[in-house]
Structure 1
Amino acid sequence: MQNYLAASTYIDFNHPDVAAKAAALAEGATSPLEVARRCFEFVRDEIHHSVDYKRNPVTCKASDVLRHGTGYCYAKSHLLAALLRANGIPAGLCYQRLTVGADGAPYCLHGLNAVHLPQFGWYRIDARGNKPGVNARFSPPTEALAFAVRPPMERDLPEIWAEPLPVVVHALETYSTYDQVLANLPDVALPG
């Protein structure tokens, strides 16, 4: 579990701004479940999704997401993991492989989180931000993610990562505007 509680380059909850926001979100909470819900709702509702709001700059580190108030789903998941870890709640990163358009290729990764809750174990949450057609919620033990996968080519990737995938970091650190990232969304090949 230690890997899911650690600070790192991208999940930098040791940054003073992230630590202060994490403490503010936990203030007066009576359980880890309440803290997790508050952190989730803050990132989902108060941090703008870069494409939905057509916002720059492109962010990757949790502290940059918080400072600029914007990020792609991947960056928002870095901030959520940081806020949870700062409060002693294990959190990891998860990915789905989704179609970019209505159906079929091309595909891209979608970033979300898993949080370890004492009552439920690992529980996936998706703070990308709601909009028409997207209604992600914090309602354990039932998952309420932003997107349902449509097999066979869309997939929930089963891993819970302690750190972001290199392909995600590459996309967020290579391109300087939200539309450049949108034109170069990260993806992974599926086995078989």
Structure 2
Amino acid sequence: MMLTPVTADESAYLAADEAVDHTHPLVRETAARLSARTDGDLAAYARAAYEFVRDAIPHSADVDDWRLTWRASDVLAQRVGICHAKSHALVALLRAEGIPAGFCYQKLNVLHGLIALRLPGARRWVRQDARGNKPGVNAQFSLDREQLAFSVWPEKGECDYPVLYAEPHPVVLRALRQARDRAHLWHLLDTAL
């Protein structure tokens, strides 16, 4: 899928903000630990960060955890999050090591969050989905071809949004902050974008 960045300023895809707090000590420590295993190879680091978020931080619905996290450092500290929160954590880890990354979305039965990254020197952005695998979901890291958690079904009204955001979409952040619990969050995200 071809993505359209919201800005041509690549530095926006390296910035820290309230949700992508990649200057937080826990984010920096986690990034350093993952980086130490990859000998400065940014592609290997991107894969390690992806697999860490996908596998070590469960999707809250998969483990029936009702806590709602949204800030990257909180996702890493509490080791739980929905797809959007896990995306915030992955983008923070990538940006912490100088890899431009942003946010993209799919309209499924609710709004699904994933990320895209562009390794330095690469010509295109590549989407990655760190939602977490389970029976029927087999997302994998790839710089060559996408293997996301979900395929969209246009006949069901689903779609891939082609926009790459430098910051989490404000509607998503508002929903994550305002939701009383996961059921309320699904309702808020159902009407998003």
TM (norm. structure 1) is 0.89
Q: Which runs of structure 2 are paired with 1:27-176 in the superposition (5 Å)?
A: 27-30=36-39, 31-98=41-108, 100=109, 108-117=110-119, 118-119=121-122, 121-152=124-155, 153-176=157-180
Q: Deviation string for 1:12-64 (max 9, x for gaps)?
A: 01110011101111113141100000000000001110111111320110011
| Structure 1: 5+ residue stretches without partners | 101-107
| Residue identity opposite 1:159 in structure 2 | V
CA distance in 2, matches of 1:53, 1:17: 23
Structure 1 residue 186: deviation in Å? 4.2
Q: Give 1 or 2: higher strand fraction.
A: 1
CA distance in 2, matches of 1:149, 1:187: 17
- 1:103 paired residue number: none
Q: Deviation string for 1:57-116 (max 9, x for gaps)?
A: 201100111111011100100000000000000000010011x2xxxxxxx210000010
Bigger CA drift: 136-145 or 180-189? Answer: 180-189
Are 1:182 and 2:186 an aligned pair? yes
Q: 15, 30, 39: which one pairs with 1:6?
A: 15
Q: Deviation string for 1:97-155 (max 9, x for gaps)?
A: 11x2xxxxxxx210000010234521000000001110000122110000001114211
Give the 3-state SS of the residue equivalent to 1:111 in structure 2. Answer: strand
Bigger CA drift: 65-74 or 171-180? Answer: 171-180
Q: 22, 28, 33: which one pairs with 1:19?
A: 28
Aligned length: 181
- 2:3 paired residue number: none
RMSD over aligned CA atoms reads 1.4
TM (norm. structure 2) is 0.89
Please tell me whether the aligned partners of residues 62 and 76 of structure 1 are also in contact (alpha carbons under 8 angstroms).
yes
Percent same amino acid among aligned pairs? 49
